[in-house]
Each structure stands twice: as structure tokens, then as C-alpha cells.
Amino acid sequence: MLLARDSMRERCLLCVKAMLIDASFNPTTKRIIDAAVEVHRHIGPGLLESTYLECLESEFADRRIRFERERAVPIIYKGKRLRKTYKLDLVIEDLVVVEVKSVAAVLGIHEAQVITYRKLTDHPVGLLINFNVERLIDGVHRLVNPKVLSKTLRNDAKK
């Protein structure tokens, strides 16, 4: 029981560290979240994802945040490029993958989707933003690339 508790505590500390890491993408993720909060403040929960995407685009443009909507990402299978591509909701500043949802509850499959997109594009961080919540901050999931996290933790240990 003690080992399980220690392991759980370590995982929780890693999660907290992931949220608190001092990384170059932090200002960008903050600007994205601020824009999303503004959208949520004005139109609230319960609408379609496409509505939130369009409002975010407007907010990003107003804030001069560079973004690309529905970036096509190729799928490579055993070294072969498939005809099928994934379409990412948003890529911000060519740094952050953003997936917009409007669902009753975020599931593991939603997080897996963002992690996969982040890996396919080699971006350091992904944001999963669920607008179907009372307070938007409760719907924001920041998914940091483990390579970035472990590098930061190693640098912290050296200090």
C-alpha cells in the first residue's frame, strides 16, 4: 500500500510540475487561454465546436496571435505516406496544438487525440479546451511533451 501511495504521489508531483514548468511556450499558452476565456465569457457553454472555433479565430486575429485552422497532418504508416490526413483544429504560432471541444465530459480519448496530434507535429505542448463547462478554466487541459518536461526537470535538478 505504501508503494502504491508513493507512486501516486510521484505521478501527482509530475502533473503539478508539468503545469508549473518554466518553458518558452508559456506566454503563448497564456495568450491562448486568455482568448478562450474571453470567448467563453461572451457566449458561454452549450454551443457547437465550430462556433467556438470561429470566435477564437476572431479573438486571435484581434490579439494578433498567429494561427492556422485545420492544418492537414499526414499519416505515415510503415514509412509510407497515406492518403488520409488528420486535421488539427488550430496550430498557434507554429508552437501549440489546440483542440476545441464542447462535450459533457473530457474523456481519455480526447486527451489521446491531442497527444497524437502533438507527436505528429513535434510541437512541445497541446491544449485541449472544452467550452461546455461553467468556468472555462475547468475545461482547459495542458498536455506537455514528456521530452520537454523531463528536460526541464533535469535542468531544475542541476540548480
Q: Could you tell me which residues come within 8 angstroms of residue 89 by beta carbon, excluding any fewer than 6 positions away?
A: 49, 53, 69, 70, 98, 99, 100
Average pLDDT over residues 9-18: 45
Q: How far apart are CA 77 and CA 59, in angstroms?
A: 37
Alpha-helix runs per DSSP H in the chain: 2-20, 26-43, 49-62, 108-121, 146-158
- Measured between alpha carbons, how far is 157 from 114 in angstroms, rounded to an integer? 29
Q: Which of 13-17, 39-43, 91-95 has the lowest mean pLDDT?
A: 13-17
pLDDT at 148: 64
Q: Report pTM.
A: 0.78
The whole-number average pLDDT for the span 69-77 is 91
For the ranges 6-20, 23-37, 70-84, 127-141, the lowest mean pLDDT is seen at 6-20
pLDDT confidence of residue 60: 98
- At residue 21, the pLDDT reads 63
pLDDT in tens, 17-28: 445 566 678 889
pLDDT at 154: 54
Q: Mean pLDDT of all residues in the chain?
A: 84
Find the range with the poorest average confidence among 1-10, 95-104, 107-116. Answer: 1-10
Mean pLDDT of 116-144: 92
* Secondary structure class of 33 (helix, strand, coil): helix
